[in-house]
Amino acid sequence: MSMPLESVPFSELLRRPAETADRLSRARAVRLRRRDAADLVLMSADRAAAEGEVVDLTARLLASLVRRDPVLVREALPTVLPWVRFLPPGDAERMVDEFVSTAEAAAAVGNTAAVSQLLTEWRHTAEIHADPNLHRILAAPSDDDFGPVARPAGA
């Protein structure tokens, strides 16, 4: 069982830095809630390094398992990510391949953002396959040009 993630306002860190840092003795990390920006997480450097090692080892181990027995991993995936069941078989295989190669690469550079993005994209694909009406609409051919697309906020 993992230790809880405590949550405090960012201002708590500014007003009482020592007390906020002391919370790390009771929690694996402290979430710093900010009103007008993304929350931050405060954790010890030793903890961050240990978690990084675990991510790296897990990515390399998974890649090794997939190379040795791809069927085993593909069969186990729906128990870990139940939404995979909505993907057509070919897409599920492609998802596993992309996941493993992306996880290996992300571990090598020490940044898992690409893995998170990949899982989000595949989960959305599964959501489309799970909804027959939505799938029909999105899979239908279209000759229309729907015009310019607005630039995403923050881009």
The model's pTM is 0.68
> CA–CA separation, 29 vs 46, rounded Å?
12
Q: pLDDT of the chain along its 155 residues, tens only?
A: 455 678 899 998 889 988 888 888 888 889 999 998 899 999 988 888 888 888 888 888 887 887 788 788 778 888 999 999 999 989 998 998 898 888 888 888 888 889 899 999 999 999 999 999 998 988 888 877 878 888 888 76
3-state secondary structure 72-131: HHHHHHHHHCHHHHHCCHHHHHHHHHHHHHHHHHHHHHCCCHHHHHHHHHHHHHHHHHHC
Interatomic CA distance for residues 125 and 121, integer angstroms: 6
pLDDT at site 2: 56
pLDDT digits (tens, 9 = 90+) for 69-105: 878 877 888 899 999 999 998 999 899 889 888 888 8
